[in-house]
Amino acid sequence: MRNSKYNLGLRIIHWLMAVFIVGMLCSGFYMKSLPVSNEIKFSIYTVHKACGINVLGLIILRMFFRIFACDPTFPASFSRFVINVSRTVHFILYSLMILMPLSGYVISSASSIKIKYLFHVPLLINEDKDLANAANLLHSILAYFTVFFIILHILGALKHIFIDKQNILKRII
């Protein structure tokens, strides 16, 4: 029989990633607004990249948990449409959580800019300004999609809580 809650590891990773991702989105938009001459901009980039590595590691760990742990069942009142929308939004969020750090890595690697982290992160892509610019554009576009789908995710949870009177949030807390 399936549980009514997500596995404890998934719940912890979910909220840890939520903090990292919201923080990274805020720092990313803030960094973009700063002029190149601003000294703090590059300090923020260093932390932003390190957090991106953490997010990539957490999403890999999260997918491992998802493979080996049973998801809680959806409430019986959920229509097939609502279940499919939920699964689609989650799939897109997972995709974005992988693509965002990977595109950030391509920006740094193709720009030959070292990534400071707890261990040496090799730059596997030769310097290529056009690729770095394309990855930068993609990273920015993905950031807006991430914001959009996070809002959809939150609005979906709020709909279930306040309109449907089903505390779906208890599954992830």
Using the 8-state DSSP alphabet, how is residue 118 labeled? Answer: S
Is 90 exceeded by the pLDDT of residue 66?
no
Nearest by Cα to 105 from 120, 122, 92: 122
CA-CA distance, 36 to 155, in Å (whole number)? 36
Q: Which two tokens stand for residue 102?
A: 């990977």
Taking CA atoms, 131 is separated from 29, 73, 127, in Å, by 21, 43, 8
What does the CA dihedral 123, 126, 132, 135 come to, rounded to 10 degrees?
-70
Asked if 110 contacts 131 with a C-beta cutoff of 8 angstroms, the reply is: yes
Q: What's the pTM value of the predicted model, to 2 decimals?
A: 0.94
Give tens-digit pLDDT for 111-169: 999 999 999 999 999 999 999 999 999 999 999 999 999 999 999 999 999 999 998 99
4 pLDDT tier (thresholds 50, 70, 90)? confident
Report the residue count for the chain.
173
